[in-house]
Structure 1
Amino acid sequence: MSRVAKHRKACPGVRNDAELEYWRGVWQSARTLSVDIAGDNWCNYWHEHFDWESRGTRSRLEHRKHLRPLMHAFARVQSQLHQQSKPHQVFVSIYPNDPGSDALYVHTPNPHSDYPAEFGGMQFVTWLPPLLIGVVSLDRYRVGVTRYEGDHRFTILPRQDGAAVRHAATL
């Protein structure tokens, strides 16, 4: 048995190759995500999940680890769409009790649903809940809470201080 294999057996908290490969894939998706709304392209609540296997249900730490690439992709897509003149909304939904449903959304005028998206019943926080501390900045984003059926979700919206959040004032 190799020295590395002995160490992994003796230290079960150390990630194995499959775990490392999983995280490489998650981060690769976040770093390469691209959304094109130019020309006739549109998005009807197009979204991307980063925790397809619902690993975030294992622990709050595991959930937070998935939020980092999600927020990286959020910033990346905002930057991409900043270059486009089409009206758009970019936001993230985070479900504390259902991490596999966490997603980055892009919404534009389209033939299938109303634009802009409405976020009725949302209350914006002035402090971050523990799940989002160190992952989301209130200087850069607004965090709204929507309560439903005894549960809640967080919606993260860009602050309204730049062209990348064009039409966010209608939220």
Structure 2
Amino acid sequence: MKLRRAHIKAHIMLYNRLLENLQVFEKPYQSWIELVDEDAGLDGVYIHTSNPNDNNFPLKLENIEWDYPIPKQYKDLINLNEFNVGHYTEESNHHFIIQSKNNGIRL
């Protein structure tokens, strides 16, 4: 659990630095953290913009349940004044989405 908490803290720090750098980015974007309860190797910090290869911007994940209760072991790591938290299940994995309330386009 201690290692997982440190892993999540590192993702949040990286995400905050990304958000700082995106303040000068002049195009629309989406950014988020995705945490997979069953496999931390699938966790990541993402940025998504329009591109000429596909017409999937903005990305809409229809199955996200926003305002999902955060697991109590992680509650103190995620500032709910700054971030929206969502959850979805895919292939029996529980995915948590952490996204800035004030930056970028919401998923």
TM-score if structure 2 supplies the norm length? 0.89
C-alpha separation between the residues in 2 aligned to 1:156 and 1:86?
21
1:166 aligns with 2:107: no
Match of 1:99 in 2: 40
C-alpha separation between the residues in 1 aligned to 2:80 and 2:88?
17
C-alpha separation between the residues in 2 aligned to 1:77 and 1:150?
30
Match of 1:145 in 2: 87
Q: Secondary structure at the match of 1:130?
A: coil
- In the TM superposition, 1:47-62 aligns within 5 A as 60-62=1-3
Equivalent pairs counted in the alignment come to: 106
Give the structure with the higher percent helix. Answer: 1
> CA shift at 1:126, angstroms?
5.2
Q: Secondary structure at the match of 1:167?
A: coil
Structure 2's unaligned 5+ residue stretches are none
Higher relative contact order (CA 8 A, sep 6+): 2
Equivalent position amino acid for 1:89 in 2:
Q
Match of 1:65 in 2: 6
Equivalent position amino acid for 2:4 in 1:
H
C-alpha separation between the residues in 2 aligned to 1:141 and 1:154?
12
Identity, in percent, stands at 24
Give the structure with the higher percent strand. Answer: 2
Bigger Rg over Cα: 1
TM-score if structure 1 supplies the norm length? 0.58
Structure 1's unaligned 5+ residue stretches are 1-59
1:134 aligns with 2:72: no
Pick from 58, 61, 71 the counterpart of residue 116 of structure 1.
Answer: 58
Equivalent position amino acid for 2:99 in 1:
L
